[in-house]
Structure 1
Amino acid sequence: MTTNLIIGGTGKTGRRVASLLQGRGLPVTSLSRPGFDWADPTTWSSVEQPATAAYLTFAPDLTFPGAPEAVADVAGRMARSGVRRIVLLSGRGEAEAQQAEQLVAEAAAKHGASWGVVRCAFFMQNFDESLFAGPLAAGRLAFSAGDVREPFVDLDDVAEVAVAMMTGDAPANRTYELTGPRLMTFAEATAEIAAATGREIAYEQITNERLVDDLVHAGLPAEEAGGLGALFAHLLDGHNEHFADGVHEALGRPARDFAAYARKAAASGAWSSQEVAS
């Protein structure tokens, strides 16, 4: 039995995809550093193995220089080696990400493979598994989103759609654009998290310049922090303030709501003030 390749199998989406596949009794091969490293093209040959399907994620983000060409190269290697279905994780409203989608589709089709794209809104889990988790646990989130409303999407939905395409349960050779069912500001999302935890958690609006400084002080390299700052400034200018129905199109059910996510994350111990104290 051939395997299912996952690039970034320990990441937020990758580990969920791996878990769902393994729950079906399907084999998984996870490729991550140092065996596979987007910053080191000499490691990309590790994807050259036959597989039923592959889940392709790029870090830090598809908007970073050279990302579209890199994922196209890797997708081509996969397809030439016998991978039959390639699913790419992408972002909404990002010109570079949409370029990557097109290049991956072309690389797959050139070698007789099918392709799929999960094009996603901001992840709900950025609040408990990423850069917002610590500040929220400490009682204050400082961010540069302003009054822009985002249709946050649950990563469990993202993973289920990706697996549906990888296993053939959802039609291939198309893009599923995924959002949650509500438009919310970051201040509103913070308030829902506070309600779920029963704690006071404040949201503070800051400038993009201060955000970049905060990211550097948190330990990110200056170049990566600047790139993320530029990405947030672009994504949060209002052009993504609309819904998409990709979850229902792929899975036949509504997308999960933010309130349900916040309750579940809070019940698991996310944003516990004790974690900050320790």
Structure 2
Amino acid sequence: MTKNTENEKQELPAARPVLVTSGTGKTGRRVAERLAERGVPVRAGSRSGEVPFDWADPSGWEAALSGADAAYVAYYPDLAAPGAPEAMTAFGRIARRCGVRRLVLLSGRGEPQAVLAEKALRSAAGDAELTVVRSAFFAQNFSEGALLDGVLGGEVVFPAGGSAEPFVDVDDLADVVVAALCGEGGAGAIHELTGPRALTFAEAAAELAGATGREVRYVAVTGPQYAAMLKEYGVPAAEAGFLSGLFTFLLDGHNATVTDGVKRALGRDPKPFAAFAAEAARDGAWHA
């Protein structure tokens, strides 16, 4: 066995980066942070960041994917939206051309239209390993999403009726995504992620009230009423109609069952909604 001299030593090749699309969003930001903590080089793609990436402008996708080993694919506005299968086909072809080995796709639980987009990406990406993460409604939608203002104002208005939803904590989702990106935790599988218990929106509002110490109640509205409310806030009519229709469909009760997806992927139980609410309140999520 020979010893290398200092001049003969060879540096190991640098690890190839991981592209995180929507890198400043609820899930992308957490995924990027976790990868960086592991020492994985990260490209956090966004419309205004250091790595330009815009789902509405495919011209920048190849530059973002070039040289990447893996990518987290979080499509905006939603994988069930019109045009998503076509976008996944285009993205998958570019990823294949760039030699990306592993893809992790954020999808919606119980969304038939999203499944079409999943299949489009799988077909276009060729031999790349594809993990699909089908998520329940995010708990963080109450603390840093569309429902934040409602919690602050004391009324969460949403077209969910009395249906229950097993809200998933985005921190759990990010852990599953990172495990898959790094080749662990069921990489290449389809994961359905939920929290440990289904709650109605009224029950969730009660949990939030207890955590925040302020009055929070749920106000049920119909899909058309919700669309009209969105338009009053300046959301374009087409987008308002899509969102109200999507939420009405997803929250009709067919997604109320709890899965063991988090435990199967990570070997631990998912975070309960009450724990999310307590942590978010402690961190100042609802300070007006």
- Shorter-chain TM-score category? over 0.9
Separation in 1 of the partners of 2:252 and 2:23? 31
Runs of 4+ deviating beyond 3 Å: none
CA contact (8 A) 1:85 1:115 kept: yes
1:87-129 alpha-carbon deviations (Å, 9 max, x no partner)? 0000011111111122222223x2x221101110000000111
Bigger-Rg structure (1/2): 2
Counterpart of 2:211 in structure 1 is 196
Query: How far did 1:219 drift?
Result: 2.7
Counterpart of 2:104 in structure 1 is 87
Query: How far did 1:270 drift?
Result: 1.9
Greater displacement, 222-231 / 85-94: 222-231
Greater displacement, 263-272 / 182-191: 263-272
Query: How far did 1:250 drift?
Result: 0.7
CA contact (8 A) 1:52 1:84 kept: yes
One-letter code of the match for 1:199?
Answer: R
Counterpart of 1:162 in structure 2 is 177
Query: How far did 1:215 drift?
Result: 1.3
CA contact (8 A) 2:169 2:273 kept: yes
User: In structure 1, which of residues 125, 141, 147 is the aligned counterpart of residue 156 of structure 2?
Assistant: 141
Greater displacement, 183-192 / 240-249: 240-249
Counterpart of 1:121 in structure 2 is 136
Q: Tell me the SS of whatever aligns to 1:51.
A: coil
Give TM-score, length-normalised by structure 2.
0.91
Q: Tell me the SS of whatever aligns to 1:134.
A: helix
Query: Identity percentage over the alignment?
Result: 51
Counterpart of 2:81 in structure 1 is 64
Counterpart of 2:5 in structure 1 is none
Matching of residue 107 in structure 1 with residue 124 in structure 2: yes
Separation in 2 of the partners of 1:100 and 1:170? 23
Superposed counterparts of 1:1-278, under 5 Å: 1=14, 2-33=16-47, 35-108=52-125, 110=126, 112-272=127-287, 275=288
1:124-146 alpha-carbon deviations (Å, 9 max, x no partner)? 00011111001111111111111
Separation in 2 of the partners of 1:88 and 1:180? 19
Query: How far did 1:48 drift?
Result: 3.6
Counterpart of 2:7 in structure 1 is none
CA contact (8 A) 1:105 1:173 kept: no
- Matched residue count: 271
Separation in 2 of the partners of 1:98 and 1:183? 23
Query: How far did 1:44 drift?
Result: 2.8
Separation in 1 of the partners of 2:72 and 2:166? 24
Separation in 1 of the partners of 2:183 and 2:41? 16
